[in-house]
Amino acid sequence: MFTKPWKFKEGFLIGGFLILLGLILQAVAGPVDWDALAWPVNIILLAVLLLVIDVMFLLREKVYAFEWMMHAQAAVPAIACTLCLTLLMGLTVQTDEGGIPGLSQMVTFWPFTLTYTWMVLIAGLTTLNRISRWKWRDIPFVINHLGVFLAITCAALGSADLKRLEMTVREGVPQWMAEDENGNEVEPGLAVELHDFTIEEYPAVLALYDGNARQRVPDATLSVAEGTEEGMLGDWHVRVLEHIEDAAAVPGEKELRYAPWNEAGGACAVRVEAEKDGVRVGGWVAGGSFAFPMHPLELGDGFSLVMPAREPRRYASDVSVYTRDGKEVHGTVEVNKPVKADGWKIYQVSYDEEMGKWSEVSVFELVRDPWHPAVYAGIYLMLAGAACLFLLMAPKPVKKEV
């Protein structure tokens, strides 16, 4: 064992030793505290890491282990150990009793951190080795490995500087304070003012409810858009006679009816006629709102027509962002379309669901990740390396002799 030349088994032994050492550290010292590596500690560690790789490369002819790390016999076991740990943690549910962390906690797991570092050292040394023996055909290899090194290293070291805050903003009131993941108030250095909240909802639907089973009948729904619709809901033929998008309940002589309502709190209401085996039932069905309750139509035998709460298709907030240095940024914030200001990305997360489309409150997530460009640069380098490799390996057309 460990007699020259070293092979794959030595690589797997080193990987196993790092995992064992990591488990001991996890038990003795607890999870890795990445918060302690926040700026400027992480940039200092990056400089130290680059210096260590340079020294190892310069000593490669004197230290056999350093020279061996530049070959597949070291790289393949390192990648295999890291992937196995990632898959194991990805399939593990984290519990209060501890044990193997889940995927969201993997960066704090010492075995993963050590094998991760081992793989980074190998990637750095391999890249330097190819650069020192530069040939044009090595371009894809160098670009790809440089991208791997950059993406992995910056993602790990930059995790300590990643900030996620939640800010609840009421319309017309600039909000300067946010909350971190622990519920502590934090001032991010900017304020968000909500001018207007808008929501687009999917069309209302009618559903058949089985009161005996206390559940909706599967696949028994009818979309209700503007106009007149009809269709089968279970054994009932349902026809929409009248549709009011925003309506209010009005007491009638015999039963409750609905009329247009131009104020906040209007609920979608439809007048329907349902028929089954020659029996007809007519009346109003309405969805609920903060102002009016839901109103079903009883069909008999425990069945009724109901209008479930409408699902939002899109919701957005028209906002202004103010920074401490006097800058103003205006824009529309959506779930996956943030507004950027002063290094922060502001995403729409939620709203006052009880008020629905009349909400005057928006909940935003503020994300700040200064290492994000470096990580993406690494990913783009990996893609560029793969594209270059594809172009170099593409078969050249054969010229036919005339």
Distance (Å, rounded) from C-alpha 396 to C-alpha 84?
39
Neighbours of 49 (CB within 10 A): 17
The b-or-e profile of 2-31 (16+ CB within 10 A means b, else e) is eeeebeeebbbebbeebbeebeebbeeeee
Q: What does the domain layout of the chain look like in residue ranges?
A: 8-161+373-393, 163-200+313-368, 203-310
Question: What string of pLDDT tens digits covers the 402 residues of the chain?
Answer: 788 889 999 999 999 999 999 999 999 998 888 888 888 999 999 999 999 999 999 999 999 999 999 999 999 999 999 888 888 877 765 544 455 555 556 778 899 899 999 999 999 999 999 998 888 888 888 999 899 899 989 988 888 899 999 999 999 999 999 999 889 999 999 999 999 999 999 999 999 999 988 899 998 889 887 656 788 998 999 999 999 999 999 887 678 889 999 899 999 999 999 999 989 999 999 999 999 999 999 999 899 999 999 999 999 999 999 999 999 999 999 999 999 999 999 999 999 999 999 999 999 999 999 999 999 999 999 999 888 888 777 666 665 555
Q: CA nearest 167: which of 134, 191, 197, 143?
A: 191
SS3 343: coil
Distance (Å, rounded) from C-alpha 282 to C-alpha 274?
6
**pTM of the entire predicted model:** 0.77
SS3 289: coil
For 124-153, give the DSSP string.
HHHHHHHHHT--GGGHHHHHHHHHHHHHHH
Distance (Å, rounded) from C-alpha 295 to C-alpha 255?
12
Cα dist. 136→110, 181, 197, 278, 326 in Å?
A: 39, 49, 56, 83, 51
Domain spanning 163-200+313-368, CATH class: mainly beta
Single-letter amino acid code for the residue at 10: E
Taking only the tens place, the pLDDT of each residue in 282-335 is 999 999 999 999 999 999 989 999 999 999 999 999 999 999 999 999 999 999
Q: CA nearest 157: which of 121, 118, 107?
A: 107
SS3 323: strand
Distance (Å, rounded) from C-alpha 58 to C-alpha 56?
6
